[in-house]
Amino acid sequence: MSTDIETKMKNHEATEFWGGEDKGKMLQITDAASNRYIQVDLSEASALANALSEFVARECERRQGLLRRQIGALKIAEKSVFEEVASLPRSMFEVPSIAVLMVEKFCPTSL
């Protein structure tokens, strides 16, 4: 028996299922467009979660740097929502949260 897991992913679906006595509960992540998937057990899911968390933190920091450069180039007032987002501490990105939403909304992806 499988259980769909609610995520906010736009292009992928996650399903929990029983992988047998040897593997226990497993997670399947499926690409909605191609129907290709990966299946991970607990240790692989943990490793993936750690890698994803690090990716989120690094990408948010990179985008913050781009925003800081734009603020400097445009001479935007320092007391703005952009400056607040550019100043968020890295610890805010260790667990996906509202800070990630703010970075996605206000920070450029490239210059």
Domain ranges of the chain: 1-40, 52-111
Predicted model pTM: 0.71
| Tens digit of each residue's pLDDT (9 = 90 or more) over 32-87 | 999 999 999 999 999 999 999 999 999 989 999 998 888 887 776 666 777 777 78
Lowest mean pLDDT among 7-16, 44-53, 91-100: 91-100
Secondary structure of the chain in the HEC alphabet?
A: CEEEECCCCCCEEEEEEECCCCCCEEEEEEECCCCCEEEECHHHHHHHHHHHHHHHHHHHHHHHHHHHHHHHHHCCCCCCHHHHHHCCCHHHHCCCCHHHHHHHHHCCCCC
